[in-house]
């Protein structure tokens, strides 16, 4: 499994120096690197850590003195994070995904799979499903009737894809993700507690009933190209239109996306964030971990919402928002700063009260 420094550098289009024939087995953190590892010391701060190891080769920051660091070979990277993509792919271990159709897979005779499809044990593929070339579908995946998935899909174990979902190319779903469940949409014949709270300010003005009726999900989910959905994440079907995820958007684990939500292109939705029904995101929106968006909002393109924020209002394009209720970054930072100074403020006011009261007594 070893590769030479020269081959790695060539494959990644990077500059290498020293003994280009040196064979390394895997990349490693600077403090954990052994003699056969490629130490990842891409920032100057790792220089000292590196010098204490047996590493003979490293990936270094551009101006590093590799010989002074005691190395026999080095690769230089101008943009460390991006270099990690190529480096980790170069050393990726063999895939654990299936390579052929397992005899226990239950594939409906009307499903259309490509000749090279790989389907793991006990996967279930329903009627009228169409799947593109190169799909790797792991054990226990289920795909319901009428779903279309483009070429190059990777569906890890236990992924659930509901009916009539449409997915583009190179889709990745991590284990136990659920795409295309029914939307959470239940109505009452008369005014509900939520409606009463909005209209009269009191939940008691609702008509008390247990008679919720489901609004069915006639729509489904449409997902663009190069989308990834994380482990355990859930995306509900739309009511009369589609729930949509745009090209290139990446969704982390345990993220919830409600019915009718529209996510633009190249968005990053971090772990455990949630988007309530019918909210729309522009392109390149970043939601930090555990961010919550209320329903029916419009979030503009290039918006970044910091982790742990709760958003109840529309957000204009290009904004950075934080907090609950979320505010512009500079407003939020000021609020936090001033809140920390409240003890001083209370004391100042009490001192002023005494001073003024004394003035009045004296005056």
Q: Considering the rule CB under 8 A, would residue 294 count as an interface residue with its own copies?
A: yes
Residue 327: phi, psi to the nearest 5? -135, 165
Footprint of its own copies on 90-129 (CB under 8 A):
91-93, 96, 102, 104, 106, 120-122, 124, 126
- Residue 153 is given by DSSP the state -
Q: Considering the rule CB under 8 A, would residue 252 count as an interface residue with its own copies?
A: yes
Chain CA centroid to CA 74, Å: 33
Q: Considering the rule CB under 8 A, would residue 230 count as an interface residue with its own copies?
A: yes
- Pick the closer one to its own copies by CB: 16 or 270: 270
Shortest distance, position 65 Cβ to its own copies, whole Å: 24
Closest CA to 293 of 253, 308, 250: 308
Shortest distance, position 244 Cβ to its own copies, whole Å: 12
- Residues 6+ away with beta carbon under 8 Å from 220: 162, 163, 164, 165, 166, 180, 237, 238, 242, 243
Please pick, from the candidates 23, 186, 199, 296, the single residue that binds its own copies as defined by CB under 8 A: 186
- Residues 6+ away with beta carbon under 8 Å from 214: 182, 185, 186
Shortest distance, position 249 Cβ to its own copies, whole Å: 8
- Pick the closer one to its own copies by CB: 48 or 186: 186
Strand partners, 196: none
Q: Considering the rule CB under 8 A, would residue 262 count as an interface residue with its own copies?
A: no
Q: What is the helix (H) or strand (E) element at residue 125, kind and residue range?
A: strand 124-125
Q: Considering the rule CB under 8 A, would residue 160 count as an interface residue with its own copies?
A: yes
Q: Considering the rule CB under 8 A, would residue 292 count as an interface residue with its own copies?
A: yes
| Catalytic (active-site) positions | 259
Closest CA to 169 of 223, 236, 101, 250: 223
Please pick, from the candidates 74, 286, 297, 299, the single residue that binds its own copies as defined by CB under 8 A: 286
Q: Considering the rule CB under 8 A, would residue 236 count as an interface residue with its own copies?
A: yes
Footprint of its own copies on 42-71 (CB under 8 A):
none
The sign of the torsion formed by the CA atoms of 308, 311, 317, 321 equals: negative
- Pick the closer one to its own copies by CB: 101 or 266: 266
Of the listed pieces 11-19, 42-50, 80-88, 109-117, which binds its own copies according to CB under 8 A? 80-88
């Amino acid at each position: 499994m070893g590769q030479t420094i020269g081959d790695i550098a060539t494959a990644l289009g990077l500059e290498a120096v020293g003994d280009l024939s040196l064979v390394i087995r895997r990349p490693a953190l600077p403090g954990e690197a052994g003699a056969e590892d490629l130490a990842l010391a891409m920032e100057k701060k790792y220089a000292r850590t590196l010098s204490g190891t047996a590493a003979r080769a490293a990936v270094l920051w551009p101006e590093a003195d590799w010989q002074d660091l005691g190395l026999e070979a080095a690769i230089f990277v101008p943009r460390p994070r991006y270099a990690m993509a190529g480096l980790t792919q170069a050393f990726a271990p063999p895939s654990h995904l299936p390579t052929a159709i397992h005899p226990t897979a239950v594939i409906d005779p009307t499903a259309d799979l490509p000749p090279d499809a790989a389907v793991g044990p006990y996967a279930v593929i329903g009627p009228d499903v169409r799947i593109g070339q190169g799909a790797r579908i792991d054990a226990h995946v289920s795909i319901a009737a009428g779903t279309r998935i483009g070429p190059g899909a990777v569906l890890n174990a236990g992924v659930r894809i509901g009916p009539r979902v449409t997915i583009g190319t190179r889709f990745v779903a991590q284990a136990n993700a659920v795409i295309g469940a029914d939307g959470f949409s239940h109505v009452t014949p008369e005014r509900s507690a939520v409606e009463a709270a909005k209209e009269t300010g009191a939940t008691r003005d609702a008509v008390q009933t247990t008679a919720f009726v489901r609004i069915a999900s006639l729509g489904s989910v449409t997902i663009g190209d190069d989308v990834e959905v994380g482990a355990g994440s859930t995306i509900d079907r739309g009511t009369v239109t589609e729930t949509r995820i745009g090209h290139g958007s990446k969704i982390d684990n345990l993220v919830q996306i409600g019915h009718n939500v529209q996510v633009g292109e190249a968005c990053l939705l971090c772990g455990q964030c949630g988007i309530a029904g019918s909210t729309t995101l522009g392109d390149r929106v970043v939601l930090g971990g555990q961010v919550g968006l209320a329903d029916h909002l419009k979030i503009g393109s290039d918006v970044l919402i910091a982790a742990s924020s709760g958003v109840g209002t529309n957000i204009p394009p290009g904004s950075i928002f934080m907090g609950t209720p979320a505010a512009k970054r500079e407003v939020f930072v000021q609020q936090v700063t001033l809140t920390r100074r409240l003890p001083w403020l209370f004391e100042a006011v009490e001192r002023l009260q005494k001073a003024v009261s004394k003035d009045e007594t004296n005056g």
